[in-house]
Structure 1
Amino acid sequence: MAKSQSSRTSDDDPTLLAILEGRPCPDCDDGELELGVYKENRAAICDSCDTPRAQLW
């Protein structure tokens, strides 16, 4: 029988959102991506223009 993989949610996991955090926003000159919530989903969002770059659902 195959083992099911459990999802890891530790803050030190190299998830997509953690990788994007701190990168410059591609949509505006002043923004930086930060972790947040967009439409009730965890997301990487620009701290200046509020544009979501990635979200997990």
Structure 2
Amino acid sequence: MAKSQSSRTSDDDPKLLAILEGRPCPDCDDGELERGTYKENRAVVCNSCDTPRAQLW
């Protein structure tokens, strides 16, 4: 049986979030992408303009 999403921990975060984390924001000049939440989903969001670049649900 497949593992439910609710049982995931920070140790098994998807690779996409790890790949995007730390990159410069393409929407603003000052921001950097960091892991966070967007609309209650795990996401990578700009720390300056709060624009989400990827979210998982």
54 and 14 in structure 1: CA distance in 2 versus 1, 3 angstrom threshold: closer
Question: Structure 2 length normalisation: TM-score?
Answer: 0.78
Q: 4+ runs of 1 displaced by more than 2 Å?
A: 4-9
Give aligned pairs, total. 53
Please, which runs of 5 or more residues in structure 2 have no aligned partner? none
Root-mean-square deviation over aligned CA pairs: 1.9
Larger radius of gyration: 1
Question: Structure 1 length normalisation: TM-score?
Answer: 0.78
Please, which runs of 5 or more residues in structure 1 have no aligned partner? none
